Amino acid sequence: MTRPRRSYRRTERPARGAEPRRYSRRPRRSNAPIIILCAALGVGALAAVGFLLGSDRMSREDEQTVVEVMKEVERNMAEVARKIMLDPSAAGSGAANVCAAQARLLRNRAQEVRGDAARLLRTVAFMFEEEARVLGDYEEALKAVEDDGGIDPTGLDQPGAIAKRRRLWAAFQKKNAAVRQFFSGLGGTLDGQMRREGLSAKRRAEVAEGLLKSINRKQATIDRVRDADDELCDLAEEIFKLLEKNAGKWEASEHVVQFDNENAAGIYNELISEIQAVARKQAAAQRELTGAMLR
């Protein structure tokens, strides 16, 4: 993503020995948004079940089992959403783990039914497994960035430190793009799996309509979360460029940075303000997604 050229307000640099300019670390975000995506997939699957009920390829007992297990998935995800609303740190176990748990539940219960019932449960399990894989990669890349300091300049004056940090941010941005691509291509992934399961074209269309409807309603908000991650990556790159341009003219320790150049200090402060604004926008999108799950 290319950012437009910006002009920055000059600010007065504090004298040496005075209170240094404070740097605010990028807020550590919960995994709330991607866990709620798992919830949307579960609710969508519950809606898709309705299209198969009454099928001559599904017995009444199998219908009951399918509805029962999908409602269990829905309850599980709603409980996660409630915990996140009360305490965002409750998402710390990771969205990938939540997805994987639902997939195991669906796989196990699929063994209790036959025909279209088993095919449907295995299909939804596969979708959760794919989501777990994509989100697991995302979470791993995010943790690598945070463990290395995020945008904290402390230690970035050492040889190779900025280059390493850049690689981590670039890897994170790539995984963020993969999450976006997964959800934008959900229809194709779903259809491919249903074909492998042997569902008819009519059934595939019916299930896709039910499964994707819930997620599509939330797509704009999902995109806002992904856009915020992209913006954070771009802003981090601007900070790295600023530090490189002013090599030897700044010092940092314990999340505090001070520049010799007053213009550079002003630019840095502006970038930090932008990062904080993006974090606030992302938090609002997280709350919106979580709230939608509970309605």
Q: pLDDT at residue 52 above 60? A: no
Please state whether 85 falls in left (phi above 0), alpha (psi between -120 and 50) or beta. alpha
Report the amino acid identity of residue 61: E
pLDDT-derived band at 73, boundaries 50, 70, 90: confident
Number of domain units in the chain: 1
Q: Would 146 be classed as within a structural domain?
A: yes
Q: What is the spatial distance between Cα 136 and Cα 38, in angstroms, rounded to a whole number?
A: 12
Q: pLDDT at residue 255 above 60? A: yes
Q: pLDDT at residue 120 above 90? A: no
Q: Would 154 be classed as within a structural domain?
A: yes
pTM score, whole prediction: 0.81
pLDDT of residue 292: 64
Q: What is the spatial distance between Cα 73 and Cα 120, in angstroms, rounded to a whole number?
A: 14
The range of the structural domain enclosing residue 165 comes to 32-294
> Is the pLDDT higher at 20 or at 230?
230
pLDDT of residue 45: 54
Contacts 24+ apart (CB under 8 A), 225-228: 225/33, 225/34, 225/282, 225/285, 225/286, 225/289, 226/176, 226/179, 226/180, 228/278, 228/279, 228/281, 228/282, 228/285
Cα 241 to chain centroid, rounded: 26
Q: Would 11 be classed as within a structural domain?
A: no
Q: Would 27 be classed as within a structural domain?
A: no
Q: What is the mean pLDDT of the chain?
A: 79
Count of C-beta atoms within a 10 Å radius of residue 170: 15
96-122 average pLDDT score: 92
Highest mean pLDDT among 58-62, 65-69, 172-176: 172-176
pLDDT-derived band at 57, boundaries 50, 70, 90: low
Q: Would 109 be classed as within a structural domain?
A: yes
163 is written with which tokens? 């280059």
Q: Would 255 be classed as within a structural domain?
A: yes
Q: What is the pLDDT of residues 10-43, one digit of tens each?
A: 334 444 444 444 443 333 344 444 444 555 555 4
148-177 average pLDDT score: 95
21 is written with which tokens? 């300019």
Q: What is the DSSP string of 125-176?
A: HHHHHHHHHHHHHHHHHHHHHHHTTTT--TTTTSTTHHHHHHHHHHHHHHHH
For the chain, strand residue ranges (E) read 250-253, 256-259
Please state whether 149 falls in left (phi above 0), alpha (psi between -120 and 50) or beta. left
pLDDT of residue 250: 93
Q: Which residues contact 53 (CB under 8 A, 6 or more apart)?
A: 63, 67
Q: Would 17 be classed as within a structural domain?
A: no
Q: What is the spatial distance between Cα 293 and Cα 39, in angstroms, rounded to a whole number?
A: 7
Q: Would 16 be classed as within a structural domain?
A: no
